[in-house]
Amino acid sequence: MRVWALPLALLALALCVTYSVARHQRATTPVAPIRPALVNPEALAKRLASIQDGWPRSRNFDCAKLKCVALTFDDGPGEHTAPLLDLLHKRDVRATFFVIGQMVAADKDGRLTRRIVEEGHEIGNHSWSHPALAALSREEIERQLKRTDDLVEKLTGVRMRVMRPPYGSTDDRVVAELHREGLAQILWNVDTLDWLNRVPALVAKRAGAAKPGSIVLLHDIHRSTVEAVPAMLDTLEKKGYTFVTVSELYGRTPSPGRTYTER
């Protein structure tokens, strides 16, 4: 081999070894998992500045004199919750959202759950996994309620004070556990059956039959329900209704352990 060619050969060998090692390292070095963004405590505190004692500030409606109606949405947050919040924000309407713990846990970084609170809506407990509570043991009922309460409080700073039993399944044991957990039981007197008949016009028509003081049952997990909201609001507004949260409907936070179906 010519003398001048020896350095070139050595350089080529070094490059080959370096490339081979680099390839091996890329193939065997474990990749760090992507972690969800952590909530900034200071930013969260600023976003929650409008909340007083864990609840959105009351808008001081006197529902003893006004024609008030409380729209309530169960089973979220889900893929249709954000468009619903957009609609409600555009119309300056506040509602009550009864959330499922598992859905809150699946909510990316808790952003929808926090948005519900930040935009002045009331948030309520709808159990962790949506079982018929009356069929559970006392310990299981407690877990269903407390696990959801704790997660929502961790994400939003709000300790929920209202609760809706899945399927309306309740009994004295459920009520007793609600009282221990500091929750009022909120039922309804207008059922839109939006889970059964997913036809926006029909859902809007049923909601439009509300009377002063009504609590209207809806579900924000159905696209058809969200599509029904504009017509629903139009119908009730033409009748002179004011849209309020459940607590605003009664002029106070409902009492733990008591059951409410309408004002």
Choosing from 149, 219, 220, 222, the catalytic residue is 219
74 a catalytic residue:
yes
> Rounded to whole angstroms, how far apart are CA atoms 167 and 130?
8
Residues classed as catalytic: 74, 219
